[in-house]
Structure 1
């Protein structure tokens, strides 16, 4: 069985104007859901959470349900379009163990972000023989954006990064991370870049809209605000009805982003054997 959880957040708390709102994430979520149907997913098996429904509790609850209710042979998708950020990872010994990448639910300002550690705790429950694609069109780090020539069918009147600046304390740790030394009692080494989930022993495939030192952008594509990564990712999936191996999808998405002049490179992480297999298989 094929099942999916699709999350898109334009409206960040408070509801309505205010907050670090975006414009293209609902369009992205709609496109992803429709694309999954073309790729063989039953509309009834696609759960969609947007804006004020995409709270921290709801996202984690539905993700846990998606993972825990799956059985061998199932193909799952967790898609997120919205803001991303980075936070300091404080260990139980109150040592700084590194930097966590995180996504920002609608109520992140009050409920907190969803860190990579939170995802790992859920994904550990994934049963053997279950296929999971994790697709993120958001930023996990980056210090700025650059304007670029995006071609004739794109307008530069609107362009925005999907990135929430870190809190002061996290920004401080990021600045000095390369100089900080972990204590003699700590077994963990400081790392400047930390994948959302570790590649070694991965039980799923992670599709990220950009590398961890870049920002994921949204802009005007033919009159509609879209995430650049999701636009091309879905376009390629629809053209092939999902009948495409992962390494080809990865390459074609990268080529499409380059062709439009986007200053981001998608990054796909998985175990080696998964790259040569068809997506959703």
Structure 2
């Protein structure tokens, strides 16, 4: 059975004008849902959460439910389009253990972000023999946000980065991360930015819209605001009815992003064997 949870957030709390809103994420969610139907997913098995429904609790609860009810042979998709950020991971000893990537639910300002550690905990429950694609169209690094004044031509001035700047304490650690390596004799690992999940032993495939030192952009494509990564990802899936191996999909998305002059390069992470297999299998 094929099941999906799709999240798209344009409207951040407070509801209506006032939050750090985006414009293309609900369009992305709609395109992803329709594309998955073309790829063999039943509409009844696709759960969509947008705007005020995409709370931290709802996202985690629906994701946990989808994973816990899956059985060997199922194919799952979790898709997120919205803001991303970075937060410091402070241990119980009040020492810095690392820097976590995070996504920003509709209510993140009051109820917090969803960290990569939260996802690791949920994904650790994935049963053997269950395929899962995790797809993120958001930013995971602050380094690229300082380069947004690009002097763009008028038709590209609607570009927006899907990124929430870190709070001061988090930005401080992020700025000095490369200088804060812990000695090899220490039990703590090197303090560097982490991938969403480790590649070694991964039980799913991660599709990221940009590398961890880049921002993920949205802008006007044929009169509609879209995430650049999602637009091309879905376009290629529809053209192939989802019958495409992962490394080919990854390459074709990268070529399409480069052709449009996007300042981001998609990144796909999984165990080696998965790259030569078809997506959703």
Which TM-score bucket, shorter chain as reference? over 0.9
Residue 258 of structure 1 corresponds to 258
- 1:56 touches 1:107 (CA, 8 Å); kept in 2? yes
Change in CA separation of 1:181 and 1:276 when aligned onto 2, cut-off 3 Å? closer
Contact 1:95/1:183 (<8 A) preserved: no
Q: How many pairs were matched up?
A: 278
Equivalent residue runs for 1:146-185 within 5 Å: 147=150, 155-182=155-182
Computed over aligned residues only, the root mean square deviation of the Cα atoms, in angstroms, reads: 1.6
Determine helix, strand or coil for the equivalent of 2:34: helix
Matches of 1:149 and 1:132, distance apart in 2: 38
Q: Any idea what the Cα deviations from partners look like across 1:37-88, whole Å, max 9, x if unmatched?
A: 0000000000000000000000000000011110000000000000000000
Rounded Cα–Cα distance in structure 1 between residues aligned with 2:270 and 2:136: 14
- State how 1:197-236 maps to structure 2 within 5 Å: 197-236=197-236
Q: What is aligned with 2:55?
A: 55
Q: Offset at 1:94?
A: 1.6
Q: 1:116-150: per-residue Cα shift (whole Å, max 9, x none)?
A: 00000000000000000000000001332254879
Give the conservation status (yes or no) of the 8 Å contact 1:5–1:62.
Answer: yes
Report the TM-score, using the length of structure 1 for normalisation.
0.95
Q: Is the 8 A contact 2:86 2:142 kept in 1?
A: no
What do the CA deviations read for 1:148-178 (whole angstroms, capped 9, x no partner)?
879xxx9313110000000010011112222
Partner of 2:126: 126
Gapped regions of structure 2 (runs ≥ 5): none
Separation in structure 1 between the aligned mates of residue 195 and residue 181 of structure 2, nearest angstrom: 20
The Cα offsets for residues 185-204 of structure 1, whole Å up to 9 and x where unpaired, read as 85222332210011011000
Give the conservation status (yes or no) of the 8 Å contact 1:149–1:261: no
- TM-score normalised to the size of structure 2? 0.95
* Structure 1 stretches of 4+ moved >4 Å: 183-186
Residue 272 (structure 1) aligns with: 272
Give the 3-state SS of the residue equivalent to 1:229 in structure 2: helix
Counterpart position of 1:243: 243
